[in-house]
Chain A
Amino acid sequence: MSEAPHSLTAPHKLEYTYKRSTGPILGRFFGGLRDGRILGVRRPDGRVLVPPKEYDPDTGVALSELVEVAPTGTVVSWAWVAQPREKQPVGRPFAYALVKLDGADTPLLHAVDSGGDAKKLRSGLRVRARFAAERTGTLRDIEAFEPAEGAKAEAGWPRALAQKDLPEPLEILKVPVKLDYLYSAGQAATRFLRAIAEGRLLGQRCPVDGKVYFPTRGACPEHGVPTEGEPVDVKDRGTIVSYSIVRVPSENLAVELPFAAITVLLDGADSTFTHVLSEAKLEDVHMGMRVQAVWLPREQWTTSMRNIKFFKPSGEPDAPFESYEAHL
Chain B
Amino acid sequence: MERCAVVGIGQTKHTAARKDVSMPGLVREAAERALADAELTWKDIDAVVIGKAPDMFEGVMMPELFLHDALGGAYKPMLRVHTAGSVGGSTGIVAASLVQAGVHERVLTVAFEKQSESNAMWALTISMPFAMAVVAGAGGYFAPLIRGYIRRSGAPEDTGIRVALKDRKNALKNPYAHVQLPDVTFEQIAASPMLWDPVRYLETCPSSDGACAMVLASESAAARSPGRPAWVHATEMRSEPTYFAGRDQVIPRATLDNAKSLYKKAGISDPRREIDVAEVYVPFSWFEPMWMEGLLFAAPNEGWKMVYEGATAMDGDLPINPSGGVLSSNPIGASGLLRFAEAALQVRGQAGEHQVDGARKALGHAYGGGSQYFSTWIVGSDKP
Contacts and interface: CB of A to CB of B under 8 A. Distances in A.
A183 interface: yes
How many of chain A's residues touch chain B, expressed as a range? Answer: 35 or more
Given A55-B24, A328-B148, A252 B129 contact: no
- Label chain A's interface by main secondary structure: mixed
B125 A242 contact: no
Nearest to A276: B134
B51 interface: no
Interface string A170-184: 011001010000010
A175 B134 CA distance: 29
A262 B148 CA distance: 12
Given A21-B17, A328-B148, A254 B74 contact: no
Contacts of B123: 16
Given A252-B122, A261-B136, A11 B129 contact: yes
Contacts of B24: 23, 53-55
Given A60-B70, A252-B122, A328 B245 contact: no
A244 B126 contact: no
B70 to A, nearest CB: 5
A206 interface: yes
B384 interface: no
Contacts of B264: none
Interface in A42-69: 53-55, 57-62
A165 interface: no
Contact of B144 (A172, A183, A244, A251): A244
Nearest to A308: B132
How many of chain B's residues touch chain A, expressed as a range? Answer: 35 or more
A217 B247 CA distance: 15
A326 B246 contact: yes
- Residue among A10, A19, A244, A321 with the highest chain B CB neighbour number at 10 A: A244
Contacts of A16: 56, 59, 118-119, 122-123
A21 B22 contact: yes
A39 interface: no
Contacts of A274: 134-135, 144
Nearest to A173: B22
A54 B69 CA distance: 11
A255 B122 contact: no
A240 to B, nearest CB: 9
B22 A59 contact: no
Contacts of B143: 244, 246, 261
A222 B132 contact: no
Interface in B16-49: 17-25, 28, 42-43
A12 interface: yes
A213 B195 CA distance: 31
Contacts of B1: none
B130 A244 contact: no
Interface in B153-190: none
A270 interface: yes
B145 interface: yes
A325 B152 CA distance: 8
B331 interface: no
A78 interface: no
Interface string A17-42: 01111111110000000000000000
Given A12-B129, A222-B244, A244-B140, A261 B134 contact: yes
A23 B20 contact: yes
Contact of B133 (A20, A241, A252): A252
Contact of B132 (A259, A270, A287, A304): A304
Nearest to A25: B22
Interface in B92-135: 114, 116-119, 121-123, 125-135
- Residue among B195, B245, B246 with the highest chain A CB neighbour number at 10 A: B245
A54 B72 CA distance: 12
A295 to B, nearest CB: 13
Contacts of B198: 244
Given A253-B133, A304-B132, A248 B246 contact: no
Interface in A196-219: 206, 209, 211-213, 217
A220 interface: yes
Contacts of A247: 193-197
Nearest to B250: A328
- Residue among A16, A172, A242, A270 with the highest chain B CB neighbour number at 10 A: A242
A21 B19 contact: yes
Interface string A239-276: 00111111111111111000101110000001110111
B241 interface: yes
Contacts of A21: 17-22, 114, 116-117
A60 B143 CA distance: 44
Contacts of B75: 58
A172 B196 contact: no
A328 B249 contact: yes
Interface of A: 8, 10-12, 14, 16, 18-26, 53-55, 57-62, 171-172, 175, 177, 183, 185, 189, 193, 206, 209, 211-213, 217, 220-222, 241-255, 259, 261-263, 270-272, 274-276, 287, 303-306, 321, 325-328
22 contacts: A18-B118, A21-B20, A24-B25, A53-B70, A54-B24, A62-B28, A211-B246, A212-B245, A222-B247, A244-B147, A244-B197, A247-B194, A247-B195, A247-B196, A247-B197, A252-B127, A259-B134, A271-B245, A275-B132, A328-B145, A328-B248, A328-B250
Q: Return the 7 tightest CB-CB contacts between A and B, nearest first.
A: A60-B72, A244-B143, A221-B241, A23-B22, A245-B197, A10-B129, A270-B245
